[in-house]
Amino acid sequence: MNSQEEKMLPAINIKSSYKGPAYVQLAALIKEKICNGEFPQGTRIPAEVTISKTYGVAVMTVRQAIHVLAEKGILRRVHGSGTFVCGPDWTRAAFNMEGLIERLEDRQSVEIQILRAGIEEAAEGAAGPLEMEPGDMTLCLERLVSHKGRPFLLNKAWLRYDPKSPIVESEMEASSLSSLFTGKDNAFVKKSRLKLEPCVLGEREAGLLKALPAVSAFRIRYTFYGYADEPGGTGWFLTLAEDISFTTRIGVWDD
């Protein structure tokens, strides 16, 4: 008997009761052992058959319990190796863009000013993300977004040009801008890729955003994709550093 199996003993018989189905009770017991340090982060928990014998439940019940904990990010199955206790993955943090999202979603107070709109050849920086050849035609947009009369976001966008495409019309709405960050309220966007770059404002950009030249800012480059996994548009957003903050939570949260 190995040391991990010893941690599961003595045997406890679990039955469906007022405490819930057997797999729910078993998931709670395994989580308790993780919380009290019996199963530290990164360690492999006992095999499903061992857990089944220890707690007097079917192997299928064990699998259901493990699935529940895996869905919550507490356990991780590795094919051919077993099931391991997860720890915080600092390399895969998802950051919320506080300030920017709240303004974009305040639709009644948001105004979009079209500074420029026209059909032009794909710029060198746009052709690659759009999977187009240099010289192919795109719809180019430049927009200034204000919240309660104050400009806070400058956007430059290149879209695959198709007069019949509903994407072209939808891109004129405020909802299309927030959907690139939140994934909501745009039926044509399946996913988007964002890249954050610190920068300083040039004179024209500062004038449009009513800020001083060379002030700190963030440029958020993006490419969005439709449900055919084909890039539909690319571009960047520019906002003052003071108008956006980035927060995230690492590890397993139950809420």
- What is the chain's pLDDT, residue by residue, as a tens digit (255 residues)? 444 444 444 456 676 665 788 899 999 999 988 888 888 888 999 999 999 988 889 999 999 999 999 988 889 999 889 999 987 666 556 667 777 888 888 888 989 899 998 888 888 889 999 999 878 889 898 999 999 999 999 999 998 877 666 555 555 555 566 666 666 666 677 788 889 999 999 999 999 999 999 999 999 999 988 888 889 889 999 999 988 887 777 766 665
The last residue of a domain, from among 88, 122, 139: 88
Indicate if 123 and 157 belong to the same structural domain. yes
The last residue of a domain, from among 35, 60, 88: 88
The last residue of a domain, from among 88, 117, 136: 88
Indicate if 45 and 157 belong to the same structural domain. no
Indicate if 81 and 106 belong to the same structural domain. no
- Would you say residue 204 lies in a domain? yes
* pLDDT for residue 3: 47
- Would you say residue 61 lies in a domain? yes
Indicate if 148 and 37 belong to the same structural domain. no
Give the span between the Cα atoms of 120 and 218, in whole angstroms: 26
Structure tokens at 135: 């010289």
Please answer whether residues 144 and 152 qualify as being in contact, where contact means their C-beta atoms are separated by less than 8 angstroms: no
Q: What's the pTM value of the predicted model, to 2 decimals? A: 0.64
Secondary structure of the chain in the HEC alphabet? CCHHHHHCCCCCCCCCECCECHHHHHHHHHHHHHHCCCCCCCCECCCHHHHHHHHCCCHHHHHHHHHHHHHCCCEEEECCCEEEECCCCHHHCCCEEECHHHHHHCHHHEEEEEEEEEEEECCHHHHCCCCCCCCCEEEEEEEEEEECCEEEEEEEEEEECCCCCHHHHHCCCHHHHHHHHHCCCCCCCCEEEEEEEEEECCHHHHHHCCCCCCCEEEEEEEEEECCCCCEEEEEEEEEEHHHCEEECCCCCCCC
Indicate if 136 and 108 belong to the same structural domain. yes
* pLDDT for residue 35: 85
Indicate if 208 and 107 belong to the same structural domain. yes
Domain extent, residue 191, equals 96-247
The CATH number linked to 42 is 1.10.10.10
Indicate if 107 and 221 belong to the same structural domain. yes
Indicate if 119 and 221 belong to the same structural domain. yes
- Would you say residue 100 lies in a domain? yes
Give the span between the Cα atoms of 101 and 178, in whole angstroms: 6
- Would you say residue 252 lies in a domain? no
- Would you say residue 253 lies in a domain? no
* pLDDT for residue 94: 64
User: Which residues face 77 on adjacent strands?
Assistant: 83
Indicate if 211 and 115 belong to the same structural domain. yes
Indicate if 80 and 101 belong to the same structural domain. no
Give the span between the Cα atoms of 234 and 77, in whole angstroms: 37
* pLDDT for residue 215: 94
* pLDDT for residue 115: 94
* pLDDT for residue 155: 93
Give the span between the Cα atoms of 46 and 26, in whole angstroms: 13
Indicate if 173 and 221 belong to the same structural domain. yes
What sign results for the dihedral spanned by CA atoms 224, 225, 226, 231?
positive
Backbone phi, psi, residue 232, to 5° = -105, -25
* pLDDT for residue 174: 54
Indicate if 51 and 106 belong to the same structural domain. no
* pLDDT for residue 8: 44
* pLDDT for residue 187: 64
* pLDDT for residue 168: 55
Our count of domains for the chain comes to 2
